[in-house]
Amino acid sequence: MLRESGKLPTETDVLVLGSGIAGHCAALAAAEAGAEVLLLEKSSQPGGSSAIAGGAFVFCGTEEQAAAGQKDSLDALRQDLLESGKNQNNPELIERFLDSQLETYTFLKRHGVKFELHVVPEPAISRAHVTGTGRAITVLHMAVQAEPRIHYASKSPGIRLHRSTRSGRVEGAAVLFGDQETFIQTRGGVILATGGFSRSRELLQTYAPELVSAVKHGGIANTGDGLMMASDLGAGHADLGYVSGSFGGGIRNYPHNEAKADEIPPLLFSFLEGGIMVNKHGVRFVNEGQSYKALSNIGMAQPEGIGFQIFDDRLMQRSHQDTSVNNYREALLAGYIQSSDSIAGLASLMGIDPMVLQRTLDEYNRHAAKGGDPEFGRAINLFPIDQPPYYIAATGNALTSTYGGITTDGDMAVLDWFGAPIEGVFAAGEVVGGFHGAGYYSASSLSSSATFGRIAGVNAAGAMT
């Protein structure tokens, strides 16, 4: 495997492993605090899962919210985070996020990230500040390259953390660089921002065996490196029992599947915007107006674990752009969505009984036109699917992120099983467990990763010996 060539510093103040949103924010914050920083990325390109995510950040109290007349509060955001996490969230991480999220918003804007508020119908509160897929990473990486205190290298994965036999403090890490193992000594600390383990069959088999065959959407280098390195030192674990999929991962050219090992399929949630879902028998099986997380287990229980999303031209005209989520036009061109001028034509494309599918659509449309759904009780985005051409997408459970991992305190210091800090090592991003709890509040991943990355960077710089 080709790796980075040249020279790598053998010592630094702060070593950041992983260059997603958490790693970039950690590196920039540490450098601004006066530290020399070495930022290493395992793959050939920066960004990881952050570069392919939808690009939305949850923030409260922003200029964009004020301009849109949105009334929000930290108490309301706290309630929503805890409700989505079924009150299994780590209170210390929730409070640290709430206290620091607005500073992170300002930090990101100062570094050139531009936000646009995604306004949703009342009574819901509009908090998702969109940037477009990959845009925040692109801007932050330019800031990293312009910062003289930060040295960046790609194709340089961390292998193992090293602990001083005398003090017990983590004093550096072994990394692979140029096909050689190199030890990097740190004066402040190592920050693990290595992402989750959605691409590790072994770790999925251990923590979430039901998702081993799920459509993989996370960063291709997300194989749990940070989780394993920290666990080797006795780090505690949190939320690993709550790893779940998101129903809506595109399956290309179904039924002639052509998935590749490193493929990153689109996320298609047309059912949240007015489409419906049927199984291989051509019948609906759920109230589609639920979150993609809530639909995960229901979708997996269908024949072959596949749900067929069906919508019409009305929804195609609302195709999202510059994002990996609900970009219907791009998915159509790539073979994840197929089209026909008739419902029977859609059925033939997917091997579904055309008479059954037509009957399903006729019944749904008849009730939707009257504003009801007696079969499943759908009440959100309920309208007939009757404007050709029609579209169908075979979708399955997608594993976008694992959102469970090692334990930290509010300063992002990694804790052992007994709750004591493992000196010299910090963590942020998807590798950390505890913030999301037993669920996921939409668009909170990028904002929490950026916030905790910034906190980890400041504290690692402050720990310089």
Residues 4-45 have pLDDT tens digits of 556 899 999 999 999 999 999 999 999 999 999 999 999 999
pLDDT value for 5: 52
pLDDT at residue 322 tops 90? no
Residue (of 214, 168, 175, 222) closest to 194 by Cα position? 222
Biggest CA–CA distance in the chain, Å, is 75
Report the CATH number of the 11-242+403-462 domain.
3.50.50.60
The whole-angstrom separation of Cα 361 and Cα 251 is 22
Residue 426 pLDDT exceeds 70: yes
246-399, what's its fold? Flavocytochrome C3; Chain A, domain 1 (3.90.700)
> And the tokens for 436?
């999301």
Sequence-ordered list of residues with C-beta below 8 angstroms from that of 403, at least 6 positions apart, any chain: 196, 239, 242, 243, 430, 433, 436, 440, 445
pLDDT at residue 461 greater than cutoff 50 = yes
- What are the pLDDT digits (tens) for 198-230? 999 999 999 999 889 887 878 889 999 999 999
pLDDT > 70 fraction of the chain, expressed in percent and rounded: 97
Distance CA 56, CA 131 (A): 6
**Statement: residue 3 has pLDDT above 50:** no
Question: Band of the pLDDT at 297, cuts 50, 70, 90?
Answer: confident
Least reliable range by pLDDT among 68-77, 264-273, 298-307, 383-392: 264-273
pLDDT band at 133 (very low <50, low <70, confident <90, very high): confident
- Total-model pTM: 0.88
pLDDT band at 1 (very low <50, low <70, confident <90, very high): very low
**For residues 450 and 139, what is the distance between their CA atoms, to the nearest angstrom?**
13
Q: What is the Cα–Cα distance from 191 to 446, expressed in whole angstroms? A: 17
- Give the angle 460-437-57 at the CA atoms, nearest 5°: 65
Span(s) in the chain for CATH 3.90.700.10: 246-399
What pLDDT is attached to residue 53?
82
Q: Which tokens is 183 given?
A: 């030890």
More confident call, 319 vs 21:
21
- What are the pLDDT digits (tens) for 82-91? 999 999 999 9
Least Cα distance to 32 among 454, 463, 356 occurs for 454
What's at 417, amino acid-wise? W
CB 429 within 8 A of CB 18: yes
The pLDDT value given to residue 341:
97
Give tens-digit pLDDT for 57-83: 999 999 999 999 999 999 999 999 999
Residue-averaged pLDDT of the chain: 93
Q: How confident is the model at residue 261 (pLDDT cuts 50, 70, 90)?
A: low
Tell me the three state secondary structure of residue 457: helix
Q: Where in the chain is the domain with CATH 3.50.50.60?
A: 11-242+403-462
pLDDT number for residue 262:
66
Is the pLDDT at 258 greater than 70? The verdict is: no
How sure is the predictor about 260, in pLDDT bands with cuts at 50, 70 and 90? Answer: low
Q: How many whole angstroms separate alpha carbon 193 and alpha carbon 99?
A: 21
Distance of CA 342 to the CA centre of its chain: 36
Contacts of 46 (CB under 8 A, 6+ apart): 19, 20, 24, 137, 141, 152, 154
Token readout for 21 is 């949103």
pLDDT of residue 324: 64
Q: How does pLDDT run across 378-421, given as a tens digit for each residue?
A: 988 899 999 999 999 999 988 888 989 999 999 999 999 999 99
Share of the chain above pLDDT 90, in %: 79
Per the CB < 8 A criterion, the answer to whether 437 and 87 are in contact is: yes
